Each structure stands twice: as structure tokens, then as C-alpha cells.
Chain A
Amino acid sequence: MNGLQVLAWMVSRLLGCLRLKPGNKKSFYRKRLLRDLASVGADSIPIVSVISACTGIILALQSAQQLEKVGAISYVANLVGVTIIRELGPLLTAIIVTGRSGAAFTAEIATMQISEEIDALEVMGIEPVRFLVLPKLIAMLIMVPCLTVWADFVGIFSGGAFSAIALGINEVTYFNNTVEFLKLHDVLAGLVKAGGFAVAITIIGCWQGFLAREGAADVGRKTTNSVVISIFMIILLDLFFTALNFLFR
């Protein structure tokens, strides 16, 4: 099978999983889901927090320099809030998750592919896509939006704290401005983006893993491909969602 055929095979089997009876409970699927939830979500919190905090401070610094010139320094809050909630929160979270989890998905599946573990699943009558991809997809759909909300909160909070300490903006004014200026629509638009990114990262990561054929070197190649293609797709999806948001504002 060529690359696109493997992608079609994987997506069709993934869609086939939707037809499963909800009562069909298997303890090992639950265990795999919990493991993926922990690795995608909980384990990403430190790095997401640090990067979001830095981004909030950078945005506050950059915007303060420009807004100070026109005497509108109190608008730092609006700029940091909107930029993080609408754009940088979902985008940076997705890029971090691509590097951590997307790459790990590819490496895991590619290694299983070359060590005949996927074949072993097939001959045991266990659907590899259901066993490997579905728990990852569910974990990503739950955790990427959660991480995005956390990144938004940390980014805005750190921008506010920095503005209060270094720029002398009153912290109450800062948070009032943020709350007043942001709309629920902005938060939802960011979460929709996060969901789209989660699907793209999982599909691309797992797809590249299933494509591995030629030993250990191929695992590295496919992992690199997975990260590069995922980041490219995230940017394209971001453009698409932002354009959509602009049209239906």
C-alpha cells in the first residue's frame, strides 16, 4: 500500500470504530485510554505552562513598547488576552503536543510495525487501529482543548503579573480590561481550533507510524516527517479556522 492508501485504510477503520456498541467494554482499552490521557495531558502541563508564561510576558513587553508611544498602555491587557485566547494559546499548545505526543505516537507505532507487533495484533484478531489509534484520538480530543484552556490562563495571568510588576499597570484594571474585551465566542473559537489540531496531530502521527517499513532508520525518518507535516497542517488549519472566524464574526 502506498502512503495515501495507508491513510485511507486507517481513516476508514477509525470510522468503523464509531459503529461499535457502547456496551462493548474492554478493560484494556480503558487502561490504554488512561495511559494516553496521562501522557498527552498531565505530562505536558509543565512545558505548556513555561512556554505560555513566557509568551504572555513577551506579548506584554512587545505591546507595551508600541502602546506606550500613543499613551494607550492600559490596552496591553486587551492585546495579550485576544492574541493568546484566539491565536497563540491553541497554536503553541498544538506545536508542543506535536513535538511531545505526535512524535511519540509515530515512534511507538513505527517501532511496533517493524517488530511485527502490528502483525501480531492482526493475527490475534485485534483491530490495530482500534487498539492503537482510537485511544490516542480520544485522549487528544479531551486533552488538547484542556491544555489550551490552561495555556490561555497561564499566558494571561503571567502577562498580567508582569504588567503589574514591571509596567506599573494596575492588576485589577488589567483583569477587568481582559474580561470586558474578551467574548465567549473568542474562547470557543480557540477551543474549536484546538479540537481540529488534536485530530490532525493524531491522524498524521499514527499514519506516519503505520508507513514505517525499513528498520530503525525509518522510525527516525517517519517521526521527523510526522512533526514537519503536523506543524504544516496546524498552520494551514489555523489559517482556515481564523478565516472562518473572520467570515462569521
Chain B
Amino acid sequence: MKFSRVAQDITLKKLSLGYPGKVLMKDLDAVLPAGKISVILGGSGCGKSTLLRHILGLNTPVSGEIFLGDTNLTDLDSGEEYKQIRTRMGVLFQDGAMLGSLTLGENVALPMQEHTELPDSIIEEVVQMKLRMVGLGDFMHYFPNQLSGGMRKRAGLARAMVMDPTTLLCDEPSSGLDPITAADLDQLILKLKETFHVTTVVVTHDLDSLFNIADHVVVLHNGRCLYQGDVEGLQQSDDEYIIDFLERRPTEIDHSMERAVKFRSRV
């Protein structure tokens, strides 16, 4: 089977997902448009990263389907087909997930060495180019533990882009970073989308990132999709949770605190 080299929509159809004994999300329908940045927004533990793992095929959905263009990803059970489609998907994990025993150059070269028959000299040139693209051209021979968190994530982006994917998936790219580094990373994601026209999915709960990069937003809460559409529509939403989220208004902790105070007064 040949897979397209053009950016495609990711479509979630009646998708239910979770872990054995726990359904995190039920009957999720969403379209993440081609060539745009879709931000999946939601509180901690709402299943955003789990959704990303399902799109990547690391987890199997309880029910429902995930399409990349016309290809049903949930039907691809053979290793070879999935291998092919994975070369079209770049992934930036939450902490970069760079292999600690390899240098940045070796990390970025890994997918090319595995999936192409290119000579080492060409691979090295491509790797150098990709590292320069993320501003790490001088760090090719450094090990991941010699770099800051932000640099590791940029290196993760270089590795994600090394096979020129049509889809880029980022799991909480700004988590654990200072606001300036996070904004730099947002700009980099934006630049990658504009330059390479990749379908980008960013899982985050960072509102600054949302307003910096999102073309399309999907809001998840309590196992369902509260909103999908553009950022302007999100800001005009009258849903109570979305208003609380956008205004950074604490909810559950407030109630817990009230309960704790009541309990304390009784003691």
C-alpha cells in the first residue's frame, strides 16, 4: 500500500478510548484539518496524551476509528503498513524522549538510517540541516543530558521532521519550559507548519501556546468533546468549563478547599 506524501486530515469517528477497566473518552468525533495546527486542549488527566497515543497507534481504541486521509489507522494491524505510515508521522514527546545513549546527531539520524538506504555522509548532511533548522547546528555531538529542556525539545522536533513527515504530533511541547523558551518553541512549530505544510496536532493545556499557534481547537473535558472550531469561536463560547479554563479560574480545588475547611471546623 502507498501512502500519500501530501498533508491530510485526521478524522476521529465515534472514538472511545481508555485503559482496561477505564474508559477515558466516549464517542469522540472530530476532524483535525490538513495543513493546519490543531490544538487539543483540556485539563490534566482528561485524556489528551492518551488520544495522541491512539493516533500514533501505541494504544488500541476501545471502539471507533481514526483516519489519516482515507487510510483507516485502526485497521492497520500489520507491522509493515504501520511502519510505512509512521515514516509520514513525526512525533515530539513531552520530554523530547531523545535516546540518552546517543548524541543529538545520532538521535536525529536514527529514522533515516532505519528507513532509507542513503549513505552515512548524506544522512549526516541532512541531520546537520535539520539541527540548524531548530537552532542546534553546533550541538550535533552533544548528548541529550548535556542540554537544557528547551534544547532537548527542539532536538526532538528536528528528529520528528527528519523524514519530512506530512503529520506532526506534539505532546505538551511547552510543559516545563520558561515562557520565553515556550514561546520560541511555539514559533518554531508555527514556522514548520508554514514551511512544510504539515498537519500539526499539539496537545497542551497552555493557553499562551493556544493563542500563539492554533488554527483549530478541540476542547476535551470529562470524556467528551466540548468544543471544536477556531480560536475566535472558542473565546465566544458560553460553556462554563471553557470560560473557567480560558479565565484560568480554579474550580475543583476551591470546592475541595471548602470541604477541607468545613471538616476542620467540625474537628
Report A's interface with B, CB cutoff 8 A: 26-28, 35, 108, 111-112, 115-117, 119-126
Contacts and interface: CB of A to CB of B under 8 A. Distances in A.
Contact of A123 (B91, B94, B101, B106): B91
Contact of B93 (A26, A28, A108, A120): A120
Given A117-B97, A125-B114, 10 more contacts: A28-B113, A116-B94, A119-B56, A119-B97, A123-B91, A124-B86, A124-B111, A124-B159, A125-B83, A125-B111
Nearest to A31: B106
10 contacts: A116-B95, A116-B97, A119-B93, A120-B98, A121-B99, A123-B57, A123-B58, A123-B86, A124-B91, A125-B111
Contacts of A121: 99
Nearest to B58: A119
Interface of B: 53, 56-58, 82-84, 86-87, 89, 91, 93-95, 97-101, 106, 109-111, 113-115, 120, 159
Contacts of B159: 124
Contacts of A116: 93-95, 97
B58 A120 contact: no
Given A27-B120, A119-B58, A120-B91, A126 B110 contact: yes
A222 to B, nearest CB: 17
A116 B159 CA distance: 15
Given A120-B91, A123-B58, A26 B113 contact: yes
A120 B113 contact: no
B99 A28 contact: no
Chain A contact surface mostly: helix
Contacts of A26: 113-114
A134 B83 CA distance: 19
B114 A126 contact: yes
Nearest to B91: A123
B120 A125 contact: no
B166 to A, nearest CB: 14
Contacts of A122: 58
B114 A120 contact: no
A123 B99 contact: no
User: Nearest 9 pairs between A and B by C-beta?
Assistant: A120-B97, A125-B83, A116-B97, A125-B86, A124-B111, A116-B93, A123-B91, A126-B114, A117-B97
A117 B87 contact: no
Contacts of B82: 125
Contacts of B53: 119
Contact of B106 (A28, A124, A125, A126): A28
